[in-house]
Each structure stands twice: as structure tokens, then as C-alpha cells.
Amino acid sequence: MSMALKQVFNKDRTFRPKRKFEPGTQRFELHKKAQASLNAGLDLKQAVQLPHGEDLNDWVAVHVVDFFNRINLIYGTISDSCTDQTCPVMSGGPKYEYRWQDEHKYKRPTALSAPKYMSLLMDWIEVQVNNENIFPTNVGTPFPKTFMQVAKKILSRLFRVFVHVYIHHFDRVSQMGAEAHVNTCYKHFYYFVTEFNLTDHKELEPLKEMTSRMCH
């Protein structure tokens, strides 16, 4: 890891506090299990598989929070070169434009600059993962019926961050020596969402060629 990159990751430049798992909870144990698989150098395709006897909702919840923290950090590393001037539209190349929609201010899909879209996205995800009614932290509290639907929406929107970073800011990633780190995170994310069918295939289209080179 380059010195420039070390400084960035040491500063932990996320935009907001990380959602952490409370020690002693089952989710914390699962989080440790997932990290141990990665640290042991287990093949990423194997590392994402549901451990025997574990609940799929718990496994997905742990990964959604982990990917949110990691992708938020990746975007933080290039955010100084992603401005309203350089990226007036949140896009992934000329063919893909992403519009923001939520239940509050933007009730219709609205074109926004990339940094504005990213800020709204990270705020929205933070609210979801900290909502006990969607991501219950107490053992024995059931997940709501809508949990998988919310998880899919979060992961689909996080995928768009990869699309934007790879297509518009990869020179900055390379310049910082972060290419291997970002690629590993992307592969981990891709294997996870495809293992459990958590992202629509049309969402994956913008990075299809790169993914086939990297993940197959």
C-alpha cells in the first residue's frame, strides 16, 4: 500500500461515523467470521457463501453494513476530484445516468451532480442501517418482511458508486496506489450480490466487460 493511500486509510475518511457491531452479539460474531475468511486468504467466491447453520438475513445485514463502510471510504478517497464542476451529472459514462429519488424531498427521479447524489445516498443508507425496525440488533428480534427488499435497494445503489468511481475517477484511484484495494473490494461485492441474487442484472451492465475480465 502506498504512503498516500496509507494516510487516507489511516485518517479513515468516511463522511459519517461507521456503523459498528456490538461485541457479544451474534452479528458481531458473524462479522468476525466474515473477516476471518477474508484474512485467511480464502477465495472471495467461497468467502461470500452462507456459513452452515447461519441465517441468510443476518449474513446479508453484516455484509450490507460492511460494504457501506468500505465503499463510503473508497468514495472518500476520490471525493476531492468529484465536484459539481467535474461531475455535474451522476453517471457511469455517456450511456448511464442515475437519478435520485427518495420519500422526502425528491419524490420523482431527479438529475443531480455526482457529489450531491453521493451525499444523499450515504445519508439515506446510514438512516436505513441504523433503523432498528429494518436492521434489528437484538438477538431474537425478527427481521421485517421487507428487509431483503431494502438490502437489495442499498446494494444496487452502492454498486452505482463503483460504476462512477471506475468510469470517471479511476485515474485518481491509480494515482493513489489504491487500485488493488478497490478491485478486491469490488470483486468481493460482486461475488456477494451475485451469490444471493441481490442486484438486478441491468444494474451490473455498465461494468460488465471489466467484471468479466476481473471475476471470471
Binding residues for Zn(2+) are 82, 87, 164, 169
| CA angle 56–58–64, rounded 5-degree value | 100
| Closest of 189, 13, 169 to residue 5, by C-alpha | 13
Half-sphere exposure of 2 toward its Cβ, with a 13 Å CA cutoff?
A: 12
Collapsing DSSP states into helix, strand and coil, what is residue 194? helix
Backbone φ and ψ for 196, nearest 5 degrees, come out as -110, 15
**Binding-site residue set:** 82, 87, 164, 169
* Distance of alpha carbon 98 from alpha carbon 112, whole angstroms: 8
